């Protein structure tokens, strides 16, 4: 009985070990196959996300999908990228033109799964290519992006499980069954060491060097754990590096970008977003959450509170003569981003070169005609009194000065736009530059009973053209002295800076101008009312020069009326 019982016990334990070993092998093989399959699926997910982001950012769906060839041309040649509508019709494929071959995509497993669950995958034969592909499809709101890899021998072999590991496990379990009674105690000790090894890593995030295994399978497991941990650390650093690259891209982007959690907590905001937000809200603020309280962003706020089936919204905001394109996108985790793009320059740039020439001809005609009239009068009427001749000469001289000023400003504008390389670049203290201008205009400032409050720090230094930087502040000061009224106070300050730009405010407490004119004040020869420039003097190009000079220094400028009265210019200058 005892022998039979021992045999029965041994056979039972052996059977349990064999069954357990078989289960472990099957699970390992299945898990390994899934992990290997997920490697290819993760690549397809990346390409699908890149394609969808390109479509969403450029608003390509459904009429401009051919533009996708710009991004798909960077993908591997064997990769097939398709965009389908809800009816499973192919609207774009990177391997075919508009007249692409037809395929019954409605019955495709990956398309059905994508329409039901948002994403789907399958391995099947393509009706178009006549070969087997691994498909992955993602449903984005109103269209589907599908990525396909050729399912050739390379992928098949890559997805095959590694039988060596399975064989090793079977041998180990059979060995354990044969020598279980002999090595049970040592195995128990090894398991305890392994637990201590992992527990110390879990607590200290560092592997213990004091726990060493002898030449057995646990030593291999220990090394595998260490290798996997090192690989995870490398992957973590890679992800952080990519994150830094992405943030650097956002920082240098011309668009204002801000990310929020679903609870409206700000995650990241670039400097352009702050600049545009200040212009839109007509106030200086660093709290981006102020936009959720402003009626200007009411449409965006309502969308975020009740998006329904939409994932994004686009709108235009016009304020203080400036135009902004605003877009909000909600992500799967309910976090969202808001993008503000300044389109003021695009909407304001209505003059072409021929129109510019006509404007110049019109402006030159007035002083030339005046001078010609005075001289012809003096020639025809030689009996004019000396006093009258002096008056005519003085008037002609005044018109010649205006003519000279127009020519000078036109040359400066032309040089800024077409011969920018001719300007000498140097490091210039903005504080010293403004002090020099204030000394040069001291008599005019006193005559106008004006005050200039310069709040620029002495450490604000820009590498640029002294000529153009002087023209920026000279024209802004001259414009304020001429048109803001008497007893005006001008405040010049540097209210913010980042790694690339200085942010300036030039404001006065004068008359200001009507909002409807703010769209046009930077246009060449534009007058709010006829005769404005002629009455006050000047070429009519001052603010146009300011805008081009700021653009030369890679900055932007906006004008707005101040809440308390007066006009304010917000502009940026790149440090280098």
pLDDT of the residue at 102? 64
Q: Please tell me the distance from the alpha carbon of residue 458 to that of residue 57, in angstroms, as a whole number.
A: 41
User: Crossing angle, helix 386-418 and helix 542-552, to 10 degrees?
Assistant: 20
pLDDT of the residue at 528? 66
- 253-348 shares the fold of 2-159: yes
Q: Are 252 and 258 in contact (CB under 8 A)?
A: no
Reported as a single tens digit per residue, the pLDDT across 171-183 is 766 676 666 565 5
- What residues contact 382, with CB distance under 8 A and at least 6 apart? none
pLDDT of the residue at 6? 42
Reported as a single tens digit per residue, the pLDDT across 428-450 is 999 999 998 888 888 888 888 88
Does residue 365 carry a pLDDT above 60? Answer: no
| Least reliable range by pLDDT among 32-46, 382-396, 533-547 | 533-547
Q: How does residue 490 score in pLDDT terms, banded at 50, 70 and 90?
A: very high
For the residues 482-503, what does the mean pLDDT come to? Answer: 90
Please state which of the four CATH numbers 3.40.50.300, 3.30.450.20, 1.20.1250.20, 1.10.1520.10 is assigned to the domain occupying 2-159: 3.30.450.20
pLDDT of the residue at 3? 46
Write 152-160 long-range contacts (CB < 8 A, 24+): 155/40, 158/36, 158/40, 159/33, 159/36, 159/37, 159/40, 160/33
Reported as a single tens digit per residue, the pLDDT across 285-319 is 888 888 898 888 999 999 998 888 888 999 988 88
pTM of the model: 0.37
| CATH of span 253-348 | 3.30.450.20
Reported as a single tens digit per residue, the pLDDT across 379-412 is 777 777 777 777 767 777 666 665 665 555 555 6
Q: How does residue 504 score in pLDDT terms, banded at 50, 70 and 90?
A: very high
Q: How does residue 527 score in pLDDT terms, banded at 50, 70 and 90?
A: low
Does residue 421 carry a pLDDT above 80? Answer: no
Between 63 and 531, residue with greater pLDDT? 63
Residue 290 sits at φ, ψ, to 5 deg, of: -60, -25
Q: How does residue 538 score in pLDDT terms, banded at 50, 70 and 90?
A: low
Q: Are 401 and 538 in contact (CB under 8 A)?
A: no
Does residue 252 carry a pLDDT above 50? Answer: yes
Write 173-180 long-range contacts (CB < 8 A, 24+): 173/17, 173/18, 173/20, 173/21, 173/24, 174/17, 174/18, 174/21, 176/17, 177/13, 177/14, 177/17, 177/18, 180/13
SS3 state of residue 399: helix
Cross-strand pairs, 503: 496, 572
Residue spans per domain, the chain: 2-159, 163-249, 253-348, 423-574
| CATH of span 423-574 | 3.30.565.10
What is the percent of the chain where pLDDT is above 90?
16
Q: How does residue 571 score in pLDDT terms, banded at 50, 70 and 90?
A: very high
Q: Give the chain's end-to-end CA distance (angstroms, integer).
A: 95
pLDDT of the residue at 160? 66
Q: How does residue 320 score in pLDDT terms, banded at 50, 70 and 90?
A: confident
| Least reliable range by pLDDT among 96-105, 229-238, 416-425 | 416-425
């Amino acid at each position: 009985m005892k022998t039979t019982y021992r045999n029965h016990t041994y056979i039972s334990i052996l059977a349990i070990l064999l069954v357990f070993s078989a289960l472990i092998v099957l699970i390992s093989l299945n898990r390994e196959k899934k992990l290997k399959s997920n490697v290819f699926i993760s690549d397809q997910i990346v390409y699908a996300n890149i394609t969808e982001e390109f479509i969403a950012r450029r608003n390509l769906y459904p009429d401009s999908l051919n533009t996708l060839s710009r991004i798909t041309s960077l993908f591997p040649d064997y990769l097939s990228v398709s965009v389908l509508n809800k009816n499973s019709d192919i609207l774009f494929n990177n391997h075919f033109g508009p007249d692409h071959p037809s395929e019954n995509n409605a019955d495709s497993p990956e398309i059905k799964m994508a329409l039901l669950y948002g994403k789907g995958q399958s391995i099947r034969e393509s009706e178009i290519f006549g070969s087997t592909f691994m498909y992955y499809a993602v449903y984005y709101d109103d269209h589907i992006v599908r990525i396909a890899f050729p399912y050739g021998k390379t992928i098949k072999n890559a997805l095959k499980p590694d039988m060596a590991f399975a064989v090793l496990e079977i041998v180990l379990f059979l060995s354990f069954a044969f020598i279980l009674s002999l090595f049970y105690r040592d195995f128990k000790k090894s398991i305890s060491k392994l637990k201590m090894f992992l527990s110390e890593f879990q607590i200290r995030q560092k592997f213990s060097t004091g726990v060493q295994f002898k030449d057995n399978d646990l030593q291999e497991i220990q090394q595998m754990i260490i290798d996997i941990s090192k690989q995870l650390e490398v992957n973590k650093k890679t992800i952080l590096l990519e994150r830094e690259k992405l943030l650097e891209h956002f920082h240098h982007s011309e668009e204002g970008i801000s990310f929020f959690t679903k609870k409206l907590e700000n995650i990241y905001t670039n400097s352009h977003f702050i600049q545009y937000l200040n212009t839109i809200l007509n106030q200086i603020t660093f709290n981006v959450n102020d936009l959720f309280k402003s009626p200007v962003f009411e449409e965006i706020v309502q969308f975020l509170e009740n998006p329904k089936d939409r994932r994004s919204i686009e709108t235009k905001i016009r304020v203080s003569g400036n135009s902004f394109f605003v877009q909000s996108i909600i992500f799967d985790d309910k976090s969202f981003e808001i993008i503000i793009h300044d389109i003021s320059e695009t909407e304001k740039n209505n003059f072409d070169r021929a129109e510019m020439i006509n404007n110049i001809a019109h402006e030159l005609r007035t002083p030339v005609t005046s001078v010609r009239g005075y001289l012809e009068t003096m020639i025809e009427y030689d009996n004019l009194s000396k006093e009258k001749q002096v008056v005519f000469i003085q008037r002609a001289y005044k018109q010649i000065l205006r003519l000279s000023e127009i020519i000078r400003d036109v040359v400066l504008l032309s040089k800024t736009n077409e011969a920018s390389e001719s300007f000498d670049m140097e490091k210039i203290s903005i504080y010293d530059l403004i002090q020099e201008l204030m000394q040069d205009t001291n008599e005019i400032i006193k005559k106008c009973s004006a005050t200039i409050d310069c709040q620029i720090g002495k450490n604000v230094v820009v590498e640029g053209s002294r000529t153009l930087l002087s023209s920026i502040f000279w024209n802004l000061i001259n414009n304020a002295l001429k048109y803001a009224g008497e007893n005006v106070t001008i405040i010049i300050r540097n209210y913010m800076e980042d790694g690339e730009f200085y942010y300036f405010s030039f404001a006065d407490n004068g008359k200001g101008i009507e909002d409807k004119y703010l769209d046009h004040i930077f246009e060449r020869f534009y007058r709010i009312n006829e005769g404005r420039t002629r009455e006050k003097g000047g070429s009519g190009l001052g603010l146009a020069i300011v805008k081009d000079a700021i653009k030369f220094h890679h900055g932007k400028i906006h004008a707005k009326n101040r809440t308390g009265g007066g006009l304010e210019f917000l502009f940026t200058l790149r440090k280098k």
